[in-house]
Amino acid sequence: MLEDGGPLPEARTTRSRALTRLPVAAVLCTAVLAGPFLPGAFLSGGVLQRGVETAAAQEGSAALYGDPQQACSVTDARLPEISGIAVAGTTTLAMNDGGDVVTVYELDGGCTVTGVRTAPVDPYDPEDLALAADGTVWLADTGDNRASRSTVALIALAPDGSAPVYRLAYPDGPRDAEALLLAPDGTPYLVTKDVLGHSEVYRPAQALDAAATVPLTRVADLSFSLTGTEGGPVGRAGQLMVTGGAVSPDGAALVLRTYTDAYVWPLTGSDVPAALAGPPTVVPLPDSPQGEAVAFAADARSLVVTGEGLPAVVTVLPAVGALAPAAATEPTDGSPADTDGPTLSPWSAGAIAAIAAAVLVAGVSRIRRR
């Protein structure tokens, strides 16, 4: 049984660590976005949808956050690939992207490891974590860069050391998801990562069951536009790819981040889809080699970010303004939000496809796994 310490079905003792963490198709599209093919904002007018505004449309929004402050740097060799964090008082919880055993590290204010929580479960590709009110650390084992997993998993690392595994299945094929939002009522939401900025939001269609695979249902669509913020390992495409998420300790806000920017929404109750239907506050993040993790600080408004690589700088973006409360919305029925904005033009889509095909013929095979 998985809960008794066996590996997840996808886990393999010979799993390659050299394969790219982006599928070939994603790498090809990334080359388009990052390269000289873009005259100005080639895609900036083509991926806007209800729920996410461009940075330009949110002029002045970053004034809600002060200048970034470096809190400390993680230098512990056990944390080379931080992809998820959560803050509990003066302690920061951090996890690696990967590993053969579920492990969560406790860091003090100086980024020194002061404790380790483990469970005998071998995850496949853990990407994010969230802290529940009862102290359980939820890990999203949802990475799937090659779009090959029939199921993904949530692992609940409880304070008593138990770690049940909850299997989930997408209704419309494999997805790569790196962001977990744990609503105040305990409902988990997965947000997918896409090289063209089209993210989908899923939640379980029924109660989690460690003895069965639970179907997911899609409840929202988000599309991210180019912001012009520098950073990340994949050029301009990093401005479009969701790499982490969090819900504030008081349940009044949620955040998603890309490699370059954070998007903050007010939250009312536990209605995450309704929150995402409104315009976010867009916050440019400090340039980072591979920023993937985000959390709210203990004050429930300031943001804490870090990423992969050593040393990993932990940066705080202090809240200096009040986030506007969520606007009243009609109750969500679980169906995706309507798309009000423009979509990619046929010329744009055709250009991407043509260039991708050309690069594929030239031969893109393997790059260093990130």
Return the bridge partners of 181, or none: 189
Structure confidence at residue 33 (pLDDT): 43
**Token reading at 347:** 């010329």
**Token reading at 170:** 């997408």
Distance (Å, whole) CA 250 – CA 273:
18
Among 112, 109, 67, 110, CA closest to 88: 109
Q: What percent of the chain has pLDDT over 70?
A: 71
Among 90, 99, 89, 86, CA closest to 136: 86
Residue type, 76: D
**Token reading at 76:** 């512990």
Has residue 8 got a pLDDT over 90? Answer: no
Structure confidence at residue 325 (pLDDT): 77
> What band does 290 get if pLDDT is binned at 50, 70 and 90?
very high
Among 129, 242, 104, CA closest to 180: 129
For the sheet with 281-284, list strands across it. 242-247, 253-258, 261-266, 281-284
Give the pLDDT confidence of 74-97 residue by residue, as tens digits. Answer: 999 999 999 999 999 999 999 999
pTM metric for this prediction: 0.79
Mean pLDDT of all residues in 218-228: 97
Average pLDDT, the chain: 81
Among 282, 250, 244, 283, CA closest to 267: 250
Name the residue with tokens 């030239």: 362
Give the pLDDT confidence of 19-28 residue by residue, as tens digits. Answer: 344 443 444 4
Least confident of 146-155, 235-244, 249-258, 350-359: 350-359
- Higher-confidence residue of 137 and 52: namely 137
Tell me the three state secondary structure of residue 294.
strand
Mean pLDDT of all residues in 160-172: 97
Q: What are phi and psi of 81, to 5 degrees?
A: -135, 65
Mean pLDDT of all residues in 347-362: 40
Structure confidence at residue 52 (pLDDT): 53
Distance (Å, whole) CA 167 – CA 154:
7
CA triplet 364, 366, 102: central angle to 5 degrees? 140
Count the helices and strands in the chain (H runs, E runs). 3, 20
Task: Give yes or no for a contact between 242 and 199, defined as CB atoms under 8 angstroms apart.
Answer: yes
- What CA–CA distances, in Å, run from 157 to 29, 54, 123, 271? 36, 37, 12, 25
Q: What percent of the chain has pLDDT over 90?
A: 69
Helix axes 346-362, 24-34, angle to 10 degrees: 120
- What CA–CA distances, in Å, run from 125 to 21, 107, 211? 10, 22, 21
> What band does 306 get if pLDDT is binned at 50, 70 and 90?
very high
Question: Which domains does the chain possess?
Answer: 2-362 (2.120.10)
Among 191, 185, 177, 182, CA closest to 156: 182
Has residue 229 got a pLDDT over 70? Answer: yes
Give the pLDDT confidence of 315-344 residue by residue, as tens digits. Answer: 999 999 888 776 544 444 444 444 333 334
Task: Give yes or no for a contact between 65 and 237, defined as CB atoms under 8 angstroms apart.
Answer: no
Which H or E run contains 348? helix 346-362
Structure confidence at residue 32 (pLDDT): 41
Has residue 103 got a pLDDT over 90? Answer: yes
Give the pLDDT confidence of 175-222 residue by residue, as tens digits. Answer: 999 999 999 999 999 999 999 999 999 999 999 999 999 999 999 999
Q: Quick count: other Cβ atoms within 10 Å of Cβ 36?
A: 5
Distance (Å, whole) CA 89 – CA 121:
27
Q: What are phi and psi of 362, to 5 degrees?
A: -65, -25
Mean pLDDT of all residues in 59-67: 73
**Token reading at 219:** 């409840």
Tell me the three state secondary structure of residue 148.
coil
Using CA atoms of 361, 366, 369, 370 in order, give the dihedral in degrees to the nearest 10.
Answer: -30
> What band does 259 get if pLDDT is binned at 50, 70 and 90?
very high
